[in-house]
């Protein structure tokens, strides 16, 4: 992963939603609402079964167990702001309380013989969706312990004409079904939710990186405009200061002030000239158009001069004029990342080939390194996938960010290993889309 991508990842986590991290996503208001729904559902069910169906349930005990959940919800509502977010440990403890509360309610209403025993996995599902792996494993184990106890210890479920006693084998089947459901569904839900979280984080990092590039370009444009506007008055100041230096006698007390004015105006002139010479600042000109080969050269410039040679070659079978493009931050950053990735693993050479015709614009990046491991090729482009076998220290966001940035301009990326060794990335744009997206504003 590139340094820019790492910075973007850290920035996204710290500024996108203040106080929100991967482990405090659960808002207290949401959990309180879910628990009030549970209180209402449990109360209605108990009353319907007791009053409507005539089952002889221990009503006072049932209502007392439900009251504990209601009181805990009231306590949370009064002690903490409903808009606050719960850390992983607090949310897990509250959901664990819900598992125990429901287990007690099931204990006095028939245990696993109660058809509503399936609800004991509900808190586990909430944890799998939002909380960490450790919290989900802990709640899953608590649910397994609860259903194991309920399979052995329970009150008799009242039934008409007499008490209902299910065969032990059937109770074992219910326990097995609940245990398998708890483990399988929590694992599946957590895996899907974690993949969605990772994708969300990676996309946010990509958008942050692109916004940073655009802000830098805009800042460069302002700096170039300021240098241009300040050039004329600074030249006038320098001319007047030189005239004063000729007219003031050498021994005058003002001579040193005039010399200081001349030296500082010269220093300002050098600073403004340096700003004008900076390539990053020149790239911010809104009407700056350049051939595709020069744009690729600008993307590779930061990675040249190292131990790996970077060759940019225009193939012989090009058709038509070379595409003229603006200095797009998406192209500069996307191509730069792919070239950097190739240079990291190349033995000696990275070759960037350019080809175009009336329909397509194609850029290929080949290196003479070890290539992509076969098992990784199918996953390239996914976030947090390390693209090379020796890239274990990287988070794998670089390729994902490059693909996302280039795709904004209609590009398709293809990854493969070369027959003679090394890796190849081919980027193909429809020429009409590429030139339209990079057309200068106002034209």
The model carries a pTM of 0.49
For 114-173, the pLDDT digits (tens) are 889 999 999 999 888 888 889 999 999 999 999 999 988 888 777 666 666 778 888 889
What pLDDT is stored for residue 395 in this prediction?
Answer: 40
> Which residue matches tokens 């403890």?
93
Check residues 360 and 196 and name the one with the higher pLDDT: 360
User: Per the structure block, which two tokens stand in for 87?
Assistant: 């850390």
Taken in order 68, 70, 72, 75, the sign of the CA dihedral is negative
Stretch 27-54: mean pLDDT, rounded?
91
Give burial (CB, 10 Å; 0-12/13-18/19+) of 278.
middle
Q: Is the CB of residue 428 less than 8 Å from the CB of residue 414?
A: yes
Q: Do strands 309-314 and 349-356 pair parallel, antiparallel, or not at all (unpaired)?
A: parallel
Instruction: Report the chain's mean pLDDT, rounded to a whole number.
Output: 79
* Residue 4 pLDDT > 50: no
Mean pLDDT across the stretch 74-97?
A: 86
Angle subtended by helix axes 168-247 and 133-152, to nearest 10: 160
Mean pLDDT of 39-49: 93
Categorize the per-residue pLDDT at 216 as very low, low, confident or very high, splitting at 50, 70 and 90: low
User: What pLDDT shows up at residue 433?
Assistant: 83
Strand order in the sheet with 349-356: 309-314, 349-356, 360-367, 423-430, 412-417
Q: What is the mean pLDDT of residues 215-229?
A: 58
Q: Tell me the C-alpha distance between 296 and 309, whole Å.
A: 15
Mean local confidence (pLDDT), 284-288: 49
Per the model's pLDDT, the better-predicted residue between 176 and 192 turns out to be 176
Q: How many CA atoms lie within 13 A of 217 on its CB side?
A: 19
Highest mean pLDDT pick, 55-59, 130-134, 357-361: 357-361
Mean pLDDT of 25-41: 89
Using CA atoms, how far apart are residues 268 and 423, in angstroms rounded to an integer?
48
* C-alpha radius of gyration, the chain, whole number: 34
In the CATH hierarchy, which fold is given to the domain comprising 289-437? Answer: Heat Shock Protein 90 (3.30.565)
Domain boundaries, the chain: 3-208, 289-437
**Which has the higher per-residue pLDDT, 14 or 279?**
279
Between 57 and 197, name the one with better pLDDT: 57
């Amino acid at each position: 992963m590139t340094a820019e991508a790492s910075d973007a990842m850290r920035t996204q986590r710290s500024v996108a939603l203040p106080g929100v991290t991967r482990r405090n996503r659960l808002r207290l208001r949401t959990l309180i609402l879910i628990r009030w729904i549970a209180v209402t559902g449990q109360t209605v069910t108990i009353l319907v079964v007791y009053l409507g169906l005539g089952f002889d349930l221990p009503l006072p005990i049932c209502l007392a167990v439900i009251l504990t959940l209601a009181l805990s919800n009231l306590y949370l509502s009064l002690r903490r702001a409903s808009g606050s977010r719960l850390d992983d440990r607090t949310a897990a403890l509250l959901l664990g309380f819900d598992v125990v509360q429901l287990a007690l309610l099931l204990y006095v209403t028939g245990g696993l013989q109660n058809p509503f025993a399936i609800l004991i996995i509900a808190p586990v599902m909430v944890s799998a969706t939002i909380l960490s792996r450790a919290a989900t494993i802990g709640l899953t184990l608590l649910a397994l312990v609860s259903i194991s106890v309920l399979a052995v210890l329970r009150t008799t479920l009242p039934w008409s004409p007499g008490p209902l006693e299910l065969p032990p084998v059937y109770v074992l089947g219910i326990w097995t079904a609940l245990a398998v459901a708890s483990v399988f569904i929590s694992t599946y839900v957590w895996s899907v939710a974690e993949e969605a979280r990772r994708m969300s984080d990676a996309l946010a990092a990509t958008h942050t990186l692109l916004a940073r590039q655009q802000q830098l370009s805009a800042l460069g444009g302002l700096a170039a405009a300021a240098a241009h506007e300040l050039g004329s008055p600074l030249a006038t100041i320098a001319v007047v200061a030189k005239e004063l230096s000729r007219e003031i006698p050498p021994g005058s007390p003002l001579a040193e002030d005039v010399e200081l004015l001349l030296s500082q105006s010269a220093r300002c002139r050098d600073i403004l000239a340096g700003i004008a010479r900076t390539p990053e600042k020149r790239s911010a000109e809104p009407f700056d158009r350049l051939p595709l080969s020069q744009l690729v050269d600008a993307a590779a410039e930061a990675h040249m001069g190292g131990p790996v040679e970077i060759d940019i070659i225009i193939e012989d079978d090009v058709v038509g004029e070379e595409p003229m493009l603006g200095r797009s931050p998406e192209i500069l950053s996307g191509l730069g990342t792919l070239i950097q990735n190739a240079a990291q693993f190349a033995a000696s050479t990275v070759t960037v080939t350019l080809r175009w015709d009336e329909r397509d614009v194609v850029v290929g990046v080949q290196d003479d390194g070890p290539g992509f491991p076969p098992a990784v090729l199918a996953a390239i482009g996914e976030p947090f996938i390390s693209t090379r076998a020796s890239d274990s220290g990287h988070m794998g966001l670089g390729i994902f960010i490059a693909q996302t940035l280039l795709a904004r301009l209609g590009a398709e990326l293809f990854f493969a290993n070369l027959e003679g060794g090394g890796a190849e990335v081919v980027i193909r744009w429809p020429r009409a889309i590429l030139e339209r997206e990079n057309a200068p504003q106002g034209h």
